């Protein structure tokens, strides 16, 4: 149905000026969000209900005094869709958010202090802010996390003289303070960066980590259900000393932006944590022309990944209630809508399965409802960094059912690539068969 606001020659009603999607600063972006809301003609409460966002978050964005970037691209995306922006406009807003977030990180990250005393002060201030934002006391966090009360209070004490030593303690503190998985990983990445920066201050040199040399962030036992995909850092440099206040501000900016920017900053041809992907016999599959799975395994229950919270979710993936490949419709599906490649992996998500699942069924193909009706797409499935599936489809292809044996897989990754002018990609009703729930609902 045509947009009545976009009146053409001879159309009735007032013409509506096109939305100008531009912003040079975080303040400009906040103003853009308010304009999007105003043009939608609905209240912040209605947007919150449609987008499944906290009402306080949307009302905060609507305040004229707000000058901050939203916390995550996922929030921006659902906000735009709830405000009736089309796919192209939503993608432009998300790309603008990413550029501004990267600018904030780059500009402020240059001011991190290299002084050991300041490093401890920065991280302690940071942890204190996390605790304050959670609305909990140190004792409540200790009870929720299972950490000793003395450990929690030491994390936030102004008299603390050393960085925490245990990554698991930091992770449990962050989860107890209600941080998301992506934010928790960003906190751990910040801690590791500061710890290495502290080492640099002791043998004063400037350290720089490239993507291929960053180790796994949380080396946990293989049976740990909370094992996350190791992050790969595009580049984190440690510059000269500066003030503690500026360093703290920079660190807070890192937490907001690193989750979406750093996770996507991969290099190499389909690499996982910098290592070339190996093929594995685990990934045997049977592609067919029919999108209907037959003979589902007995015992395990099917869980739709589109409805399951992931450990990693990059900018280009969107969950839709229904997608169409050719003439066939697939409920609860995932659309890869960004331009994505082996070196710029925008359309990507990873789920922590904890070896509880045995099979993945998914239909792959090009989105029949996409603006473009041409082009190709490549679909890659990884199990613990090993390539299980790597298939290419065209816009003319019918839905292709992929059935993969994922027995023993801890981390399952879906990744697709496409050019900007191609039709978007569809992961039709991606379902895993598991003995237990692989994660909470999105």
| For the chain, percent of residues with pLDDT exceeding 70 | 69
Helix or strand run (H / E) with residue 428: strand 425-434
Give the pLDDT of residue 264: 39
Helix or strand run (H / E) with residue 441: none
Give the pLDDT of residue 190: 78
Nearest to 24 by CA among 16, 32, 36: 32
So where are the chain's domains? 26-109, 116-265, 281-434
**Mutual orientation of helices 244-264 and 181-202 as an angle, nearest 10°?**
120
pLDDT at 367 over 80: yes
Mean pLDDT in residue range 339-345: 89
196-248 tens-digit pLDDT: 766 665 554 333 333 333 333 333 333 333 333 333 333 333 334 334 434 44
Give the torsion sign (CA, 196, 197, 201, 203): positive
d(CA 174, CA 213): 26
Three-class SS of 62-82 = HCCCCCCCCCCHHHHHHHHHH
373-405 tens-digit pLDDT: 899 999 999 998 899 999 999 999 999 999 999
58-76 tens-digit pLDDT: 898 988 888 888 877 888 8
Residue 95, token pair as written in the block? 């790309």
Domain 26-109: homologous superfamily in CATH: lambda repressor-like DNA-binding domains (1.10.260.40)
d(CA 254, CA 20): 28
Give the pLDDT of residue 390: 95
Most confident of 155-159, 194-198, 386-390, 407-411: 386-390
The neighbour count for residue 263, using CB atoms within 10 Å, is 25
Dihedrals φ, ψ of 293, to 5°? -75, 145
Task: Determine whether 367 is exposed, middle or buried from the number of CB atoms within 10 Å of its CB (0-12, 13-18, 19+).
Answer: buried
Is 371 strand, coil or helix? Answer: coil
Is 150 strand, coil or helix? Answer: helix
pLDDT band at 173 (very low <50, low <70, confident <90, very high): very high
* Residue reference for tokens 């739709």: 304
pLDDT band at 430 (very low <50, low <70, confident <90, very high): very high
Hey, what CATH topology would domain 281-434 get? Jelly Rolls (2.60.120)
d(CA 401, CA 422): 21
């Amino acid at each position: 149905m045509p947009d009545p606001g976009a009146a053409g020659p001879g159309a009735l009603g007032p013409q509506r000026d096109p939305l100008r999607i531009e912003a040079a600063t975080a303040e400009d972006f906040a103003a853009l969000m308010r304009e999007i809301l105003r043009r939608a003609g609905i209240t912040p409460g209605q947007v919150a209900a449609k987008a499944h966002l906290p009402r306080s978050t949307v009302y905060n964005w609507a305040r004229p005094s707000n000058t901050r970037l939203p916390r995550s691209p996922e929030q921006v995306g659902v906000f735009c869709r709830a405000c009736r922006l089309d796919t192209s406009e939503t993608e432009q807003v998300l790309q603008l958010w990413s550029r501004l977030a990267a600018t904030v990180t780059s500009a402020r990250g240059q001011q991190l202090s290299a002084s050991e005393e300041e490093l401890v002060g920065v991280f302690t201030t940071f942890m204190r802010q996390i605790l304050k934002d959670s609305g909990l006391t140190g004792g409540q966090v200790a009870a929720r996390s299972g950490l000793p009360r003395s450990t929690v209070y030491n994390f936030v004490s102004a008299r603390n003289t050393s960085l925490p030593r245990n990554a698991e303690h930091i992770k449990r503190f962050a989860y107890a303070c209600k941080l998301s998985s992506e934010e928790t990983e960003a906190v751990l990445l910040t801690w590791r960066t500061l710890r290495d920066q502290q080492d640099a201050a002791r043998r004063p040199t400037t350290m720089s980590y490239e993507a291929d040399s960053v180790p796994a962030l949380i080396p946990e036992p293989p049976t740990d259900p909370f094992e996350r995909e190791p992050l790969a850092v595009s580049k984190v440099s440690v510059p000269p000393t500066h003030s503690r206040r500026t360093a703290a501000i920079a660190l807070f900016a890192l937490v907001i932006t690193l989750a979406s920017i750093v996770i996507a900053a991969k290099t190499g041809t389909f690499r996982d944590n910098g290592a070339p992907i190996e093929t594995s016999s685990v990934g045997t599959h049977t592609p067919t022309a029919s999108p209907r799975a037959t003979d589902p395994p007995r015992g395990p229950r099917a869980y739709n990944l589109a409805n399951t919270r992931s450990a990693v979710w990059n900018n280009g993936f969107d969950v839709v209630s229904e997608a169409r490949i050719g003439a066939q419709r697939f409920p609860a599906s995932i659309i890869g809508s960004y331009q994505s490649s082996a070196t710029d992996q925008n359309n990507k998500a990873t789920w922590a399965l904890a070896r509880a699942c045995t099979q993945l069924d998914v239909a792959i193909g090009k989105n029949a409802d996409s603006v473009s009706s041409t082009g190709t797409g490549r679909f890659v499935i990884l199990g613990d960094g090993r390539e299980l599936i790597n298939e290419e489809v065209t816009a003319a292809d019918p839905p292709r059912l992929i059935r993969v044996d994922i027995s023993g897989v801890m981390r399952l990754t879906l990744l697709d690539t496409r050019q900007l002018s191609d039709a978007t990609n569809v992961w039709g009703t991606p379902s895993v068969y598991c003995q237990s729930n692989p994660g909470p609902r999105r």
